[in-house]
Every structure is written in structure tokens, then in C-alpha cells.
Structure 1
Amino acid sequence: MTQTTLWQEQQQTNQFAELCNALYERELSLLANLDTDNVKAIQGRLQSLPYYVQKAAHAMVNTDSPLILDSQNAAWTAKQSRTMPLSGQSVADVWQWYQSSQLVVGLVVPVKEGSHIVLDCIDRVDNANNRFRTNIHGWFGVKNVETERCQLLKPTKKIMMASCAGHTWQNDAPCRPIIPSLRELLLSCSINWKNLKKPLMLKTTH
């Protein structure tokens, strides 16, 4: 084992620890401020938290991404464009992309929610009715690419980087980024940057 390899492993270990600390702090703060009386739901989320925090931290350290990892804040960073990168995102363009793709369960897709873009993933494909379902935003088809609360986008490198980094815009001007949820951070590590039509499998051990 070379000195360079040792340094890289130590660096990864330090990043992993920083990520875990930042993710725990953020998730516990969210749980503490939940407006709910459902104690069992809170207990369930607390029990599963170590698994998902460590899974996200490990994936973020080991993923091959064009984004810059901010381990102290458990976030991705990237240069933000002056306006939301929506060129080539008409309804026809978007649906043509999805129709020309061999859609698979687990594919990470971007969805515009007002001033920012979030990550979702396909959890069901209905070829008979020419539609698919995403985990959070529900069904999309040729006639409902856009709804009152959201708009399905086609994955592009600019769009995916903006969503991973939490970029937001208001009145056609960039605003302070928001931190994506733990779920979105996990999805960000499933993006295949070399082929956006095929998701990656996450490694679950450290």
C-alpha cells in the first residue's frame, strides 16, 4: 500500500465522519421540529436513521460525480446559472425524451417545483398506457407532463447538477441554495452521469 493510497483512505474516512455528523444533526433537527403527535412514526424514523445516514455518507464519498462534495454541510456544490436551465424543456421535448428511453424502475428524474428542481425516481412503468409513476410526484404521461404543482423535466447534466446542489431562482435571479433532503441525496448518488438513462446501484457497506 502506497503513501498516496493511505492518504486517500484517511481522507475518505474523515469525509465519511463529517458527512455522518452533518446528516445526523440535520435530520434530528427536522424530526425535533415535526408537527406531529405520532410517537411511533418518530420512533420508526429514529430507528432507521443510522442506516440511511451511513448509506448516504458512504455513497456520497464514493460516487463518481461532477459535483463538489461539501462534507461539513453534507451537500453538493456546483456553479449556479443565472436562470433556471430550462432550454429544450418544452412538453414535447420532455415526453419525446422519455418515449425514446428504455425506462426502468429506479431511474432518477428531475421535477420542477416552483423556484427549484427536485429529484424523484421512477417506481412503476406502465407501458400499456404509455405512462410511468414516480415515488413522490405520482403518474406522468404524454398528457400530464405538467401539473398545477410540478413539471416533469428531462434529465440533462445542467438540470441534474442544479437539483443535486439545491439551486433556486426567484424573478429570474439565483437565490441561496437549499439543502436537498436525505432521500434526494441518496438519489443523487444513483445518477449515472455517463448515461442519464441508466441508474447506478448504490453500495451499502463502508
Structure 2
Amino acid sequence: MRQQSSQQADLFALDQQRVLYAELCNAFYARELHRLSQQCATQPDPKRVSRLLDSLPYYVERAAFHIVHGHCPLTLDGQNGSWIAKQSTKPPSIDSQTNHAFYSANAHVGILVPLLVTQGHLQFVTIDTLDQVSSNRVHCNQAGWFDLDGHYKDSRLSGAQHAQLLVPNKKNFTPACCGHRWQQNKVSSPRTLSLREMLLTTRINWKNFKQPLPMKDS
């Protein structure tokens, strides 16, 4: 009887995983197709759109698989494909000395890092990865170069944007995963993360932020 109950529990858990996986795939497809349609309207590039559409099933299924089988302390909204957590009243604070101490000792290629991005009066946190590290600066895959204090030293971002490197910890990664935003230091509506960002959230090692989780094929 105990073995039968255990098997029933396993089947129920498996059914729940299948439902969640389907919900996430639907949410990600709807999100990415809407994003691509907006890009086509402003920057028509049939070849690029074709490439993105061809690769879309792979990345959608990969993100859904790793979220379903991952371990994240945040609450998941499967229908909307997003993470949920209580938002702080103000954006993360910047501490240059803390940044320098951390990155001078722990920066290495592949580590996940949070960035505080400012667009006018709007602020939010994104996730990026380090792909180059030198003795006095680090390079983020999407944003570009930063010094070890976390100050932006590149021109890749548009003139309306500014970024600040933060220390990877739960306090800084939580708003990045949940899309938290602040307008003039007041809570604003959250943004929707891109599929790339959702994939990166599945690689966060919440027990050791210095060592990201490997991305395995589903």
C-alpha cells in the first residue's frame, strides 16, 4: 500500500510538471512572437527573423525545461512565465568598495552578474555574464566594459542608458529575476524578462553565487 501511494504521488508530481512545462512554453512563445512582430515593424530584416524563428522552439523548450526542473527560491507564475517576489521600496544601493573587493577576488569568465540600469528616471536590474576579465576591469556579454568598482567604461549602451555593476547576491538577483522597476525611486510596474534573461535565471546558483549552474541540454 505504501509503495502504491508513493507511485501515485510520483505520477501526480509528473503530471504537475507536464502542465507547468506546457504553460511556460505557451507563455514564452506568445512573448517572443510579440517581440519579433514589434521588431519587424520597426526594423524589418527577413533573414534575421527567419533565423530567430528557426531557433525559437529550442530556446523556449530549453528555458521551460530548466525552470521546471530547477530549484529557485522565488515564486513562479507559470501562466505568465515570470518570477515573483516582494519588491523593495528602492532600487539596490551601489557600494564601490564592496564591488571592488568582490570582483578583484572573484571575477571569472562565465560568472552571472546583476546590472543596475538607468533610463532617465527609470531604474531596473538585469542579468548578464562576464566573458572577459583583466586585472582592472571586466567585460559583460551584453553591456560591455566595467571597472572593478562597477562603473561603466564602454559606449555600447545608448546615450539614454547607463549601467552600474552590482555584486551577485540574493538581494540584487531577486529584482533582476522578477523585473522589478523604480520610477524616481518609487515602485513601478515590473517589466517582462526576455527569453535570454529567463534562461539566465535558471543558471543562478542561489547557494553559491560565485559558481553558476551549468546549462545542460534537456
Q: Which moved more, 1:103-112 or 1:139-148?
A: 139-148
TM-score by length of 2: 0.87
Shift of 1:37: 2.3
The answer for the alignment partner of 1:71 in structure 2 is 78
For the pair shown, the structure with the greater C-alpha radius of gyration is 2
CA contact (8 A) 1:95 1:145 kept: no
Task: Give the unaligned 5+ runs of structure 2.
Answer: 1-5, 154-160
Q: Does 1:154 align with 2:167?
A: yes
**Take 1:99 and 1:191, find their aligned partners in 2: how far apart are those partners?**
20
**Take 1:168 and 1:144, find their aligned partners in 2: how far apart are those partners?**
20
The answer for the alignment partner of 1:202 in structure 2 is 215
The answer for the alignment partner of 1:118 in structure 2 is 126
1:187 alignment partner, SS class: helix
Change (3 A) 1:149 1:85: closer
Shift of 1:99: 1.1
Determine which structure has greater relative contact order: mean sequence separation of CA pairs < 8 Å that are 6+ residues apart, divided by chain length. 1
The answer for the alignment partner of 2:87 in structure 1 is 80
The answer for the alignment partner of 1:51 in structure 2 is 58
Once the two structures are superposed, what CA deviation does each residue of 1:75-117 show, in whole Å capped at 9, x if it has no partner?
111111111132xx3122112111121x332211000111100
Change (3 A) 1:133 1:55: same
Shift of 1:143: 6.3
2:191 alignment partner, SS class: coil
CA contact (8 A) 2:145 2:152 kept: no
The answer for the alignment partner of 1:131 in structure 2 is 137
Q: Which moved more, 1:161-170 or 1:146-155?
A: 146-155
**Take 1:194 and 1:105, find their aligned partners in 2: how far apart are those partners?**
19
Change (3 A) 1:154 1:144: closer
